[in-house]
Structures are given as C-alpha cells and as structure tokens.
C-alpha cells in the first residue's frame, strides 16, 4: 500500500519484541512524489484538514483529509508531505508566502 501523509511517527511501526526495524527516508521532488503516487495509487492519511486542499492543488491529485492511524509493513510506502511555514488559514488552497512543502519517501525493512 502507498500512503500520502503529513507526518511520520515511530507509532506507525510494528516493532517486534527485542527486534529492530530499519527505516529508510529519501528526499523527493514534488514531481517525483506525484509520479510515485500516480504510479501506485495511494490512500490519503493527511491528518491536517487545512493541508489536504493545499496538497490537492499542488499535486493535482485527489487528496482527502483523513486522520486514520496506520501501521506500516515492509511492503508499504509512506510519502510524507512535510509542511514548513506559517499556520495555514482555514480554506487555504495554496501555500502562503514563505511556506514550503518537502516530500519524503519512507520505507521500512
């Protein structure tokens, strides 16, 4: 499964007792993130209601607000849209001045 989210947390991992999990994080351009989401299809787990419409506009994809908790398996990919900037105003569809979104591909092994 491929997910699009706005955060990554250790709580998303199923870590076996006395085991270890390897996490790989790769920086992606907006075009690379869009291509990965289009190629595989994706489920939105964007838990910030003001960010979902901004991502929808930026990526040109149907990005829904969805505060669902997920547990990643080694077969899953999480594309994280990390927002940096001033607080998003309700109803925003574009990034405010000075804001950026960086994309990261998270895989586990």
Q: What is the pLDDT of residues 62-88, one digit of tens each?
A: 999 999 999 999 999 999 999 999 999
Per-residue model confidence (pLDDT) at position 28: 98
B/e letters for 57-67, b = 16+ CB within 10 Å, e = fewer, are: ebbeeebebbe
Per-residue model confidence (pLDDT) at position 41: 95
The domain locations on the chain are 2-108
**Domain 2-108 -> CATH class:** alpha beta
* pLDDT for residue 2 is more than 80: yes
If residue 30 lies in a helix (H) or strand (E), which one and from where to where?
A: helix 30-40
Residue of 19, 44, 18, 6 lying closest to 108 (CA atoms): 19
Per-residue model confidence (pLDDT) at position 109: 85
* pLDDT for residue 18 is more than 80: no
Phi, psi of 107 (to 5 degrees): -130, 155
The tokens describing 83, both together, are 């927002």
- pTM for the model stands at 0.93
């Amino acid at each position: 499964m491929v997910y699009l989210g706005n955060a990554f947390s250790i709580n998303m991992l199923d870590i076996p007792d006395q085991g270890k999990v390897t996490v790989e994080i790769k920086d992606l351009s907006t075009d690379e993130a869009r291509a990965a989401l289009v190629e595989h299809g994706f489920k939105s787990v964007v838990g910030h209601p003001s960010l979902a419409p901004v991502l929808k506009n930026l990526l040109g994809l149907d990005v829904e607000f969805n505060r669902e908790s997920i547990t990643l398996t080694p077969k899953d990919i999480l594309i994280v849209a990390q927002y940096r900037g001033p607080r998003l105003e309700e109803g925003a569809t574009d990034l405010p001045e000075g804001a950026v979104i960086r994309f990261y591909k998270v895989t586990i092994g």
